[in-house]
Amino acid sequence: MSQTVSAQPKGLELYGSSSRREPLRATGKRARALAKLGIESIQDLFQHFPRYHVDRRELRMIRDLARLAEEGHDGDVQVHAKVKKIGPPIRIRNSKRTMIKGKIGDESGEIDVTWFNQNWISTRLKPGVEGFFYGRLGTFRGKLQMTAPRFELIRDGKEPFNVGRIIPIYPATADLSSDQLRRLLWEALAKRPEILDPLPGELARRLSLVPRGEALRSIHFPDTREDVLRARNRLVFDEVFTLQLGLVYRKRLLERTVQGISHPMPDEDSLAETFVRALPFELTRAQHRACEEVAGDLNQKYPMHRLIEGEVGSGKTVVALYACLMAIDNGHQAAFMAPTEVLAEQHHLTVNELLDRAFGSEESRNLFAGLSKRPTVRLLTGSTPAAQREQVLNEVAFGDVDLLLGTHALIQDAVEFYRLGVAIVDEQHRFGVHQRKRLREKAAVGEPDVLVMTATPIPRTLAVSIYGDLDLSILDELPKGRRPISTELAVGDADRERAYQLIRDEVASGRQAFIVYALRDESDRSELRSAKSEAKRIAEDLFPDLRVGLVHGDMKSADKEAAMSRFRSGETQVLVATTVVEVGVDVPNATVMLVEDADRFGLAQLHQLRGRIGRGEHQSYCVLATDLDLDRGDTDPAIGLVRERLGSVASTRDGFKLAMVDLKQRGEGQLFGARQSGMPQLKIARVLEHQETVKQARDMAVRILDEDPELRAYEHQALAREMRDRFPDETLDVVQSG
Ligand code: ADP
Ligand code: MG
């Protein structure tokens, strides 16, 4: 019955699995140098794509160089010349550097050449030697010269390799130059006339894509600039296409095969709707939409896998609770995992408060046992006392707890649910894949519905590239009535003094303030000293008349919670803190945040921190203090980055915009990093730059899988194989969430 049609592989498979990859025939030092670049097979070598290309097709006459320089030619020039003079390396005065000076010439004229710190050149170049020289034009003491030109000498009979062509420049190492890589590629390509093209011909034609073999040849050895563009188009498409094929396939497979729990849609009297009616505010349109999407998912027979992306303060928690209540209404339990104790405790407070409004307090439930619909909520963290923990675990196992909130403590072995129906992961990027998976596995029967949430939002078109196997809800709207936060940079002591005055003024009118200190270094515990000693200075010298509190990560849990509740109650007016307050502090009366050494924080972190203020009806102020001289950003790229980071936080509260700046600064690798396992590497595609191609690839993937869900058709065999090869072992068959 089983009819396996296998496409005859024609030629070399670019993304072959490990068993089909052809090892490189390199040994010793060469092999080590290649391995350093991640090249171990022919396939790796072919996919060692150039960083960029330089056009060396045009040869210049030396006579013309002066005019070119005058016209402001920037970029390399290339001449065919003979060495006329070459000096020995000479030590530059007052410096460790050496310099070689020489002269090259062709029939039209001569030009000076100089190299720095390249003593070997004096042994390679002798007067009379002929070759091609390419480099940048410059002037020294008013005289035209070529600075540090690279060259290729003409030896008898051998055709020059790097001249008269468009030359790819490869990521290289000290032991293996771009030119050497180019030679290896030349030899390897010459030996392999056929390269498998897995795209059905009709599709390639419709998208005007060149064949893969041609693309591969042209990216490494183009004849024209158009060759490079066409090659790049095709190779980028291939990468994002198999990626999308895999993501969509994974999602569909899950929907077809994994048994989930179908919860009834909530009606008027349901817990979820009663809860929404009792909220002290109206849901935003975005929250409404997200709740509807979640309800639709929970109603399906297969498990929900949804990501909620939302601004800091956009009200994700309410949507998550809506999901929990739908499951609870249907006799299931809900788990809600947060990355820090402070956040878990804040959730515990908020959730109970909101549920009290809708269903009365838990105590009253005990009085009217059987009548009250009030869900039972428990908190479990690493510092829950043993006896209490024991009791919570029991209640959870017997199904007496409806909603279990907590930290990583939720995924310990000892935690067993009676009937877990929905799992929420807040701030999902702060958990590893395996932690998210373990929470899901807590369900005794059926796969639970999974909702993951993040406050570092990326636009939908981008999210498709990374989270393409999850459904996406975006909360792009802040609740009404939020007052703006004014954000300013404070550079140096005078500015800081003004920030202190601002704190005094706000506290005088009844508000509260945060002063946040940076972690100097994850491994370095000196942050504690600094927050601690600063708290002392602030309490005793700066604000002796104010009530100053301190909270940091190394405090005992009970002390931390005590410090937080003193701040919540208003007893503490100024809270000196480390980043433990980054998430999960909801004190609407706090209106000032002074971030010290703001340059040490990442962009997303600053945005999150700032989200602690502006939560109430009052105008709020955020001050980002730094001792760096930001003006030096013009010349010092590191400071330039800091300036851009702080500047963007100051100029916008739009998390999507900030996420893009962050992406630009840190590279998109981090996005894939956040997904961790189960995501193939991208070697040539840049999801930021190639969003249009991503969309096209997504559409194609959906269309093909609509027609042929298992990719069984003969013309899809090679694609299916490539898709499997690109996804790490088994990740296509395993449920991935977030
Ligand atoms: P985040 O999306 O950052 O997790 P939260 O869920 O913590 O945001 O919500 C932030 C604050 O806004 C909370 O105090 C919450 O009660 C409140 N909130 C949520 N939704 C609304 C709304 N529609 N209108 C007014 N306030 C809201
Ligand atoms: Mg939140």
In a domain, 609, yes or no: yes
Residue 112, strand partner residues: 103, 145
The residues, any chain, with a CB within 8 Å of residue 582's CB and separated by 6 or more, are: 340, 605, 608, 609, 612
> 449 and 498 share a domain?
no
Strands 574-577 and 590-595: unpaired
In a domain, 410, yes or no: yes
In a domain, 192, yes or no: no
> 389 and 288 share a domain?
yes
The pLDDT of residue 368: 62
Ligand closest to 478 (CA) is 1
Residue whose CB lies within 8 A of the most ligand 1 atoms, among 308, 342, 586, for a mutation test: 586
Residue whose CB lies within 8 A of the most ligand 1 atoms, among 318, 426, 476, 581, for a mutation test: 318
Q: Domain boundary residue among 619, 652, 685?
A: 652
Among 199-203, 460-464, 495-499, 698-702, the least confident range: 460-464
Ligand 2 centroid to 608 CA: how many Å?
Answer: 10
> 381 and 501 share a domain?
no
Q: Is the pLDDT of residue 736 over 60?
A: no
> 503 and 643 share a domain?
yes
Atom of ligand 1 nearest to the CA of 310: 2
Ligand 2 centroid to 691 CA: how many Å?
Answer: 29
Q: Is the pLDDT of residue 12 over 90?
A: no
Residue whose CB lies within 8 A of the most ligand 1 atoms, among 275, 277, 281, for a mutation test: 281
Q: Domain boundary residue among 131, 164, 197?
A: 164
In the DSSP assignment, the letter for residue 15 is T
Task: Indicate whether residue 426 lines ligand 1 (CB < 6 A).
Answer: no
Question: Domain range for residue 76?
Answer: 58-164
pLDDT band at 197 (very low <50, low <70, confident <90, very high): very high
Whether 690 contacts 682, CB under 8 Å: no
Task: Indicate whether residue 284 lines ligand 1 (CB < 6 A).
Answer: yes
CA distances from 342 to 57, 584, 710 (A): 63, 6, 46
H or E segment at 75? Answer: none
In a domain, 734, yes or no: no
In a domain, 414, yes or no: yes
> 521 and 441 share a domain?
no
Q: Burial level of 578, CB count in 10 A (0-12/13-18/19+)?
A: buried
Q: Domain boundary residue among 124, 148, 164?
A: 164
CATH assignment of the domain containing 123: 2.40.50.140
Structure confidence by residue, pLDDT tens digits, 27-68: 889 999 999 999 999 999 999 999 888 887 888 899 999 888
CATH assignment of the domain containing 611: 3.40.50.300
Highest mean pLDDT among 131-145, 209-223, 368-382 belongs to 209-223
> 497 and 596 share a domain?
yes
Structure confidence by residue, pLDDT tens digits, 338-382: 998 989 999 999 999 999 999 988 877 666 666 678 999 999 999
In a domain, 355, yes or no: yes
The pLDDT of residue 39: 94
Mean pLDDT of 642-664: 91
The pLDDT of residue 673: 65
Atom 23 (ligand 1) nearest CA: 283
Task: Indicate whether residue 242 lines ligand 1 (CB < 6 A).
Answer: no
In a domain, 691, yes or no: no
CA distances from 105 to 89, 130, 133, 541 (A): 20, 10, 10, 74
What is the pLDDT of the chain when averaged over all its residues?
A: 88
Q: Burial level of 238, CB count in 10 A (0-12/13-18/19+)?
A: buried
The pLDDT of residue 369: 61
> 373 and 497 share a domain?
no
Task: Indicate whether residue 310 lines ligand 1 (CB < 6 A).
Answer: yes
Residue with tokens 């990093």: 673
pLDDT band at 431 (very low <50, low <70, confident <90, very high): confident
pLDDT band at 522 (very low <50, low <70, confident <90, very high): very low
Ligand 2 centroid to 320 CA: how many Å?
Answer: 10
Task: Indicate whether residue 613 lines ligand 1 (CB < 6 A).
Answer: no
Residue with tokens 């002063």: 515
Ligand 2 centroid to 251 CA: how many Å?
Answer: 26
> 291 and 431 share a domain?
yes
**What percentage of the chain exceeds 90 in pLDDT?**
53
pTM higher than the cut 0.85 = no
In the DSSP assignment, the letter for residue 20 is G
> 445 and 517 share a domain?
no
Q: Which of 173, 583, 555 minimizes the C-alpha distance to 181? A: 173
Q: How many domains does the chain have?
A: 3
Atom of ligand 1 nearest to the CA of 350: 16
The pLDDT of residue 2: 45
Q: Which of 709, 686, 683, 730 minimizes the C-alpha distance to 39? A: 683
**What percentage of the chain exceeds 70 in pLDDT?**
93
Ligand 2 centroid to 455 CA: how many Å?
Answer: 7
3-state secondary structure 541-576: HHCCCCCEEEECCCCCHHHHHHHHHHHHCCCCCEEE
Structure confidence by residue, pLDDT tens digits, 296-313: 999 999 999 999 999 888
Atom of ligand 1 nearest to the CA of 615: 11
The residues, any chain, with a CB within 8 Å of residue 672's CB and separated by 6 or more, are: 466, 679, 681, 682
Among 236-245, 326-335, 443-452, 608-617, the least confident range: 443-452
In a domain, 30, yes or no: no
> 415 and 278 share a domain?
yes
Structure confidence by residue, pLDDT tens digits, 573-618: 999 998 887 777 889 999 999 999 999 898 988 998 999 998 888 9
> 448 and 496 share a domain?
no
Residue 18, strand partner residues: none
Structure confidence by residue, pLDDT tens digits, 541-559: 999 999 999 998 888 888 9
The pLDDT of residue 520: 53
Structure confidence by residue, pLDDT tens digits, 160-174: 677 678 888 899 888
> 278 and 387 share a domain?
yes
pLDDT band at 439 (very low <50, low <70, confident <90, very high): confident
Q: Is the pLDDT of residue 525 over 60?
A: no
Ligand 2 centroid to 287 CA: how many Å?
Answer: 13
Task: Indicate whether residue 589 lines ligand 1 (CB < 6 A).
Answer: no
